[in-house]
Structure 1
Amino acid sequence: MSFDQLAAELDARKAASLYRERKVLQSPQQPEVVVDGKAYLAFCSNDYLGLANHPAIISAFKQAADEYGVGGGASHLVNGHSVHHHALEEELADFTGRPRAILFSNGYMANLGTVNALLDKQDAVFEDRLNHASLLDAGLLSGARFRRYLHNDTASLAQRLAKTQARRALVVTDGVFSMDGDIADLPSICEVARQHNAWVMVDDAHGIGCLGKTGAGCAEHFNLSQQQLPVLMGTLGKAFGTSGAFIAGSEVLIETLIQHARTYIYTTSMPPAVAAATRASLKLVQTEQWRREQLESLIERFRRGCAQLGLDLMDSPTPIQPIMIGDADKAMSMSDALREKGMFITAIRPPTVPGGSARLRVTLSASHTEAQVDRLLDALDQVK
């Protein structure tokens, strides 16, 4: 068997400036990093609150590793559900204002497991066109009738819901869209779903920790109850600075996932020390409001500076601040030019985003300073 066809496809990706390459990070996640032996000021991490390298979280991880070891050892349903896993689930339920929560090893597994536990070929799933790949894959793999509605367009959603005769209808959307940075119109989406007797599931990976008075994400930001928003997913590897994901919801929902979510049942639990570290992180997310205030201030400063430079910023009020470039080759060239000036920013190209919409995905963190944002603006002014 020859891999010549695969090699040709890889060559074609390189020629189209769509080839992906890994860079080796040689320092902690923080604004100033070392990548492939060179120092950079980074604006491409999802560590939105600056917690990934926080000493209290590191200390909690070390202490739990000393007490419980490293590996989870087994699945949650065999012998891998530790005291820290259980406590974290209870604390996340309180945090989100839901009766129960359940941990998954990562967001992809949470989305695949949840959608496939709730739906089958008798059902229908309705997804925003710009949903994360894990949500799209989950819907397709479920076997349910798969429908996509126009981005953040409740009229488009309503038209599709009105036509379904499925046993169950599940509306699935990102809370904050990971490549555009805009926020889903959840109040309207939830109301349209209610009118058509559909459930709503929100992937709040990029909203949890950042939005809401206490950082509880889109549900808190829009004051949406469990009845309005019955399936809430959040990740822990972004604003929380650790790893993993969770689903929060009713007693019936969580028990259904325990019984039927294959990505929960058939995988080893996350290391207990990660759960312990996340418990420490959760306290900081709730109590250190200044981190969200710092983020808001930096976002305003960056957007104001980009407007003065004439850069095409997408309409985002979140830490995700994409600069629209369009052409993939130009986006790559700008990313390389910024790297030459000590700025580490990733160019996002198709198929991650639609053709002709390549961009520089700038992400801000509460650990950035105003001076660092100004350095980025100066660099952008030189390479634009």
Structure 2
Amino acid sequence: MAFEFIARQLAQRREDGLYRQTQPVKWLAPNQLAIEGHRLCNFASNDYLGIGQSESLREAWQQALNDTPPSASASPLVCGYTDAHLALEQALAQWLGYESVMLFNSGFAANQAICSALAQGDIRFFADKLIHASCIEGMQQSGRPFRRFAHNDPAQLNRLLNAQSEDMLVLTEGIFSMDGDTAPLAELAKVTGHHGAWLVVDEAHSLGVCGEQGRGACHQQGLSSSQVAILMGTFGKALGTSGAFVAASAEVIDFIRNSARHYIYSTHMPAHQALATLHAVDLVKSDAWRRTALQQNIAHFRHRAELAGLKLMPSDSAIQPIVVGDNQRVMTIASMLKQNGFLVGAMRSPTVSKGTERLRITLNALHNHNEINQLIEKIGKAWTA
């Protein structure tokens, strides 16, 4: 029978504890949802500032939907680009200090577009060992040579760049999605600047949560557009909407716009989404209390977790991983937490390296200390069960 590999590989995934499936959720209240009628406190969402749960954003989106069509109905290069998209691009450029910005439907598409558009001539890619899958796939599909340097290791990157003379693109993240740690961006920028390489930073998990007015990890470490040639950010995390953007010089954005198939051949994000995101940017800039509350929750979580004897990774971000070290066990612990009213991400290999399977706890500005205390108590009980 044709395509027998489908059933065979699915069966193997189930046997190995790697089978993935969706679960419909029903949102009930801030940080509260239900799965199969079971109420859960949500510690799995990337809504770091709680903006995605704000009534203000909901009202702004509803008003935008009343004023604009439900779909862009075309590529941005045909008739899918509106004043709403232009306004969002200009606001992002001004906020982040870049000449130009372009919008994408997802961070995955944006990262792939960067890699595919710039895969010209003798270019070589260099990326942090823990770079996001979208960048890895983008480099692989580009057909150009690429090397990965040890995680957050500017010294090794320097040695790799010493042996090169072609155009060089170095990719890293502001805050890493699985470990929650922050890249040494200032040191990386010094290395790339010395070798004439371009630094590309994925700020998906850092935009909004750090830096003055939430400008991100690059800004927090004192870097400007002259040191970070290309910055990618997403809207589906701290900004609470959906989509992504790339910021760079006007010439680079013009080149990507004319080269990236992910942009040229995709229906653009709806205008109402762009307008809602524009409102979200204003909330990120003005609502400093959200970042303060998030930082307080991070400090409280780490303090209580250490008192409980839980071994944490060196993360000062909203992403707080606890390594379990086994696919089956991490799923078992996550299931026990769910039975006790808490939803926590369970990250298995190969998403993370084998032996580092983990609970991925994500905190946000709207969690309260009682919820955090209860979560830690339930983790401790599940760990020793």
Same fold (TM over 0.5): yes
Judge conservation of contact 1:291–1:366 (CA < 8 Å) in 2: yes
Paired residues, number: 383
Aligned-CA RMSD value: 1.2
8 Å contact 1:44–1:363 — kept in the other structure? yes
Task: Tell me the equivalent position of 2:340.
Answer: 341
- In 2, Cα distance between the equivalents of 1:354 and 1:335? 18
C-alpha displacement of 1:121: 5.3
- Report matched runs for 1:275-354 at 5 Å: 275-354=274-353
Deviation track 1:16-68 (CA, whole Å, cap 9, x = no partner) reads 22211211111168311112321101100000010112122111211121111
The answer to whether 1:65 aligns with 2:65 is yes
Give the match's secondary structure for 1:346.
strand
Equivalent residue number for residue 227 of structure 1: 226
In structure 2, what is the equivalent of residue 52 of structure 1?
Answer: 52
- Find the counterpart in structure 2 of residue 39 from structure 1: 39
Tell me by how many angstroms 1:213 deviates.
1.7
Partner of 1:191: 190
Give SS of 2:214's match. coil
Letter of the structure 1 residue corresponding to residue 232 of structure 2:
M
**Conserved 8 A contact 1:312-1:325:** no
Distance change >3 Å, CA 28–CA 229, structure 1 → 2 = farther
> Letter of the aligned partner of 2:119 in structure 1?
L
Write the distance in 2 (CA, Å) between the matches of 1:12 and 1:76: 42
Mapping of residues 21-32 of structure 1, within 5 Å: 21-27=21-27, 30-32=30-32
Distance 2:369 2:130 in 1: 31
Q: Distance between the aligned counterparts of 2:28 and 2:271, measured in 1?
A: 21
The amino acid that maps onto 1:136 is I
Give 1:182 shift.
0.4
User: Please, which runs of 5 or more residues in structure 1 have no aligned partner?
Assistant: none
CA distance in 1, matches of 2:39, 2:161: 51
Query: Residue by residue, what CA displacement relative to the aligned partner does 1:314-370 show, whole Å, maximum 9, x if unpaired?
Result: 110100000111111111110011111011112100110001110000000111111
Amino acid at match of 1:40: L
Aligned partner of 1:370 in structure 2 is 369
Partner Cα separation in structure 1 for residue 29 and residue 313 of structure 2: 25
SS at match of 1:15: helix
Q: Which sections of structure 2, spanning at least 5 residues, go unmatched?
A: none
SS at match of 1:214: helix
The residue number in structure 2 matching 1:77 is 77
* C-alpha distance in structure 2 between counterparts of 1:125 and 1:73, whole Å: 35
Matching residue of 1:201:
200
Identify the residue that residue 135 of structure 1 maps to in structure 2.
Answer: 135
Determine the structure 2 residue equivalent to 1:162.
162
Q: Secondary structure, in 3 states, of the residue corresponding to 1:367? A: coil
Structure 1 residue ranges (4+ consecutive) displaced by more than 4 angstroms after TM superposition: none
Within-5 A mapping of 1:243-282 = 243-282=242-281
User: What is the SS of the residue equivalent to 1:18?
Assistant: coil
Q: Which residue of 2 aligns with 1:90?
A: 90
Deviating more after overlay: 286-295 vs 97-106: 97-106
C-alpha contact 1:29 1:45 (8 A) present in aligned 2: no
User: What is the aligned-residue identity percentage?
Assistant: 38
Contact 1:29 1:47 in 2 (8 A): no
State whether structure 2 residue 104 is matched by structure 1 residue 99: no
Aligned to 2:8: 8
